Every structure is written in C-alpha cells, then in structure tokens.
Chains A and B, each alone.
Chain A
Amino acid sequence: MFSKELLKGTLKTIVLHLLEEQGKMYGYEIARYVRERSEGQLELTEGALYPTLHKLEADGLVATEKVQVGHRTRKYYRLTALGTEAAGRKREEFALFTATMRMILTPKWNT
C-alpha cells in the first residue's frame, strides 16, 4: 500500500485516465479495476474515491448517467470534453513528474 499523500496527488489522474480508456464506469468498478490492474498494489478507498468523483462532476470534467440495475440504481461516469482535455494534461504532467523524480533519486556518480 502507498501512502495517503501519494495517492491524494494522483487519484484524479487515475480516474480521468481510466474513464478516457474505458468510456464509462461506476464507482465500484473503478475501485475494483484499479485493484486488479495494479495487482493489489493500489487500493482506492471509498473515502477517497467518491469525494473525488463528486468533485470532478461539480467541476464539469465528468458527466453522469443513472441506470437501473436489478433492484438498485447505478451511477455511471464518463468524461466531458473538458475532462478529456484534463486527462491528457494530467498524464503529461505526471510523466514529467516521474522523470524529474528519477533524475533526482538516481544516484549520481562523480567521475
């Protein structure tokens, strides 16, 4: 498990990326998908996931759709144009960030 701080900074990036890749997803599906794809390394808690989803919706990055499934209602999320743009931006930013971190954390040999 990774620290809360690390996850907090990357959760939006993960959600936006998955929605762009998968089209539409619901909350539980996102959590399960992340767990499986990260081979159990990344566990999204409900307490982190749902506040983020609701925030993305309020900011207009995702749109929602309700579907009746069995005896309950399921809320699906998908990206808006604004969200697609944000997904790309977040991915680039994170790629640059990891590259930078590697530059800093790689041992430097004095020749």
Chain B
Amino acid sequence: MIALSEHQVYYIANRLDQAGIDYLPLREELLDHLCCMVEDHMVDGLSFSQATHEVFAAFGKDGMQKLQRQTILQLQNKSQLMKRLALLVLGLLLISFTMMWARQQDDPPSRRPLNGEHVVTSAFGQRMHPILKKHKMHFGVDFKAPLGTPVMATSDGEIVKAEFREKYGNMIVIRHDDTFETLYSQLSEIQVKVGQTIKKGEQIGLVGSSGMSTGPHLHYEVHKDGKAVNPEGFFGP
C-alpha cells in the first residue's frame, strides 16, 4: 500500500490548476481520483514522476476540461435551460414592446385639426403680417373655416393650456409626449379644461376669430422639442 506524501499531493493539485480545473466540487474529487491512479501505478512499480506523467497523458490535453464542462452541463437540466430560454424570450419581447410603445408615444400629430378641405390662408414661415403690415415669422398654419367649425385634437395627449391671450385669442395647447405639443388658437369656444386627457380626433373647441385676426380661421402650431415646426410636414395622406 502506497500513500502519497503531502508534497506529492500538492504537486498533482498544481497540475490540476494548470489544466484549468476550477470547479471546486469536482476539483477536490478529481484530485483524489488522480492520486489513487498514481498510487496504483506506483504499486505496479513506476516512480512518482513516471506514474504522474502516465496519468496526465491518459487524460489527454483537454480531457480534463471536457470532463469539467460535462459535469457542469449535466447539472443544468432541461427545465432550467428552458426557464432561461423563456426568460430571454420574455426579455426580448419586453424590450421590443417598450420600443414600439416609445415610438408610438413620439409619433408626430398626423391628423388634421379640421375635418374636410380648408384653404390655407397663411402657411408656416416668413410672411407679411396682414394687420401689422410687417415681415414676421409665422409659427403655424392658418386654415380658413366658417365660425363654429369643430376643431379636433391631432393626436392623443393632455391639455396643458386652455386660456385667452390677446393675440392668440382663445387657445389650447396639448402635450402629446416628451417630443410634441400642438397649439390651436383664434377659437370662438374652448371645450376642454387643463389637465384633461384627450384622444386623437376628439373635439376640443370651435373655430372663431377671437384674437388678432381678420376673420374666422384656425391658427394651428406644432412644437417639436419646444420649437415650432411646419405642421404641414406631419399631415398624413
């Protein structure tokens, strides 16, 4: 009966580390196994170094790594793997839904604020102001429409302003999301209150001429990230 010395066991343990065996529940057991093999070889008459060489050669270059991989893999049974897969799929779904939701949230207001065809009496951009008779930037679009024509929200949102201003007259501002706000002014009547949530297409007021105006029309503005942009760029077909 041969029993390896502390130094000899330590040497084999070192070789195990070099082979990359770091899964502890296996490492300890494999060390005992290799020591037994070496001892058996020594009983057969081999020296310690011969026996060790023999044992490690028997495993081959990556035989131990393979053993370690298989041992770990064996423990991850199918249901665990399936659970992980399901979790991964769920995660991906959640991410794509969030992205879709975010995109929908930041959809530009594509609906027209008035039903039917209406003449644009003043487009977005530089223009001669009809009352002030000066070149001024026009931050929205003016639609000519009969007094009392219903005005509709151009996208889902929340009413953040519903008040009278000297130039704008009766005006409403809807915040749609973090990106877009729309403004409706010159109204003869405001039919919503601040804080109210509103759906796309819902009636919010009536066309009028309540501010600095020459006749009944809707002045409509779109603000993207706080800056006025041309509303006509967003209207759908």
CB within 8 Å of B: which residues of A?
26-28, 32, 46-47, 50-52, 54-55, 58, 66, 69-75
CB within 8 Å of A: which residues of B?
3-6, 9-10, 25-26, 28-33, 35-37, 40, 59, 63, 66-67, 70-71, 73-75, 77
Verify B74–A27 contact, CB threshold 8 A. Answer: no
Which single member of B28, B63, B71, B75 contacts A75 (CB below 8 Å)?
B28
| Apart from the given pairs A54-B25, A72-B35, 20 other A-B contacts in the complex at a CB distance below 8 Å | A26-B32, A27-B29, A28-B37, A32-B36, A46-B67, A47-B67, A50-B29, A50-B30, A54-B71, A54-B74, A66-B28, A69-B32, A71-B5, A71-B6, A71-B9, A72-B4, A72-B32, A73-B32, A75-B29, A75-B32
Verify A70–B26 contact, CB threshold 8 A. Answer: no
User: A73 to B33, alpha carbons, bound, how many Å?
Assistant: 10
User: A54 to B71, alpha carbons, bound, how many Å?
Assistant: 7
Chain B residues closer than 8 Å to A50, beta-carbon distance: 26, 29-30, 67, 71
**Cross-chain pairs A/B with CB under 8 angstroms, 14 sampled:** A26-B29, A26-B32, A28-B36, A47-B67, A47-B70, A50-B26, A50-B30, A52-B74, A70-B3, A71-B6, A72-B4, A72-B9, A73-B28, A73-B31
Chain A residues closer than 8 Å to B26, beta-carbon distance: 50, 54
Chain A residues closer than 8 Å to B4, beta-carbon distance: 70-72
Verify A55–B75 contact, CB threshold 8 A. Answer: yes
Chain B residues closer than 8 Å to A74, beta-carbon distance: 32
Chain A residues closer than 8 Å to B66, beta-carbon distance: 47
Which residue of A is nearest B63, CB measured? A47
Asked if A51 meets B74 with Cβ closer than 8 Å, knowing A71-B5, A72-B9, the reply is yes
User: A26 to B30, alpha carbons, bound, how many Å?
Assistant: 11
Which of B40, B63, B71 is most buried by chain A, counting CB atoms within 10 A of its CB?
A: B71
Chain B residues closer than 8 Å to A28, beta-carbon distance: 32-33, 36-37
Chain B residues closer than 8 Å to A69, beta-carbon distance: 32
User: A30 to B75, alpha carbons, bound, how many Å?
Assistant: 20
User: A71 to B30, alpha carbons, bound, how many Å?
Assistant: 14
Verify A46–B30 contact, CB threshold 8 A. Answer: yes
Chain B residues closer than 8 Å to A72, beta-carbon distance: 4, 9, 28, 31-32, 35
Verify B6–A46 contact, CB threshold 8 A. Answer: no
User: A74 to B30, alpha carbons, bound, how many Å?
Assistant: 9
Chain A residues closer than 8 Å to B36, beta-carbon distance: 28, 32
Verify B5–A51 contact, CB threshold 8 A. Answer: no
Verify A51–B71 contact, CB threshold 8 A. Answer: yes
**Minimum distance in angstroms from A10 CB to a CB of chain B:** 16
**Minimum distance in angstroms from B11 CB to a CB of chain A:** 11
Which residue of B is nearest A31, CB measured? B33
Which residue of B is nearest A47, CB measured? B67
Chain B residues closer than 8 Å to A26, beta-carbon distance: 29, 32
Chain B residues closer than 8 Å to A51, beta-carbon distance: 67, 70-71, 73-74
Verify A70–B28 contact, CB threshold 8 A. Answer: no
Verify B33–A27 contact, CB threshold 8 A. Answer: yes
Considering the complex of A and B, which 10 residue pairs feature the smallest CB-CB distances, nearest first?
A51-B74, A28-B36, A71-B6, A71-B9, A51-B70, A55-B74, A51-B71, A47-B67, A28-B33, A70-B3
